[in-house]
Amino acid sequence: MALSIVIDKTDTVGRYIKVKVGTITFDSSYPTNGEPLVSTDLGFSTAVSCLVAAPNAGLMFEYDHTNSKIKAFYPTGGAAVPAAIGAPSVAAPVGATPVTSTAAQPNFTETAGVAAEVAAATDLSTVVCKFVAFGY
């Protein structure tokens, strides 16, 4: 089986860039490294320049331009952050008053993590995500 794509809206930005808005429904057996999604699947003739899919069902989505695939990820809740990413360094503006809290926050954890890809053969047939894509 494959993805089911419904284009709800098509528009043009400038002279050449097309914009597509719609939904993607996944199938019953997610393949390792993502579902194939090429430019013609979205009604583009040449290339997908950018695709953003809204999170749904607790999953996040990423378009792999190199391999023309859409990948599904789930939050891991605190897996180690690769050294190359690390925590951002933020400097407070001059004159800013730092705010700290000493109150207990039982439902909040501030552990950084990296999402993990959904396992192969996972049934995602009930997952439908909204998307916007730009292409040529």
Give this prediction's pTM.
Answer: 0.74
Domains along the sequence of the chain with CATH: 4-81+105-135 (2.60.40)
Mean pLDDT of the region 97-119: 61
**Do 44 and 12 contact (CB within 8 A), yes or no?**
no
Task: Give the Å distances, CA to CA, from 51 to 38, 55, 91, 95, 129.
Answer: 11, 13, 32, 40, 12
Mean pLDDT of the region 108-130: 82
CA distance 120 to 123: 9
pLDDT tens-digit readout, 53-80:
999 999 999 999 999 999 999 987 655 5
Looking at every residue in the chain, the average pLDDT score rounds to 83
Give residue 123's pLDDT band: very low, low, confident or very high (50, 70, 90): very high
CA distance 104 to 40: 52
pLDDT tens-digit readout, 1-39:
699 999 999 999 999 999 999 999 999 999 999 999 999
**Do 26 and 124 contact (CB within 8 A), yes or no?**
yes
Which pLDDT score is estimated for 95?
A: 62
CA distance 69 to 30: 12
Give residue 101's pLDDT band: very low, low, confident or very high (50, 70, 90): very low
Q: Is 34 exposed, middle or buried (0-12, 13-18, 19+ CB in 10 A)?
A: buried
Which pLDDT score is estimated for 108?
A: 44
User: C-alpha 134: how far from its chain's center?
Assistant: 15
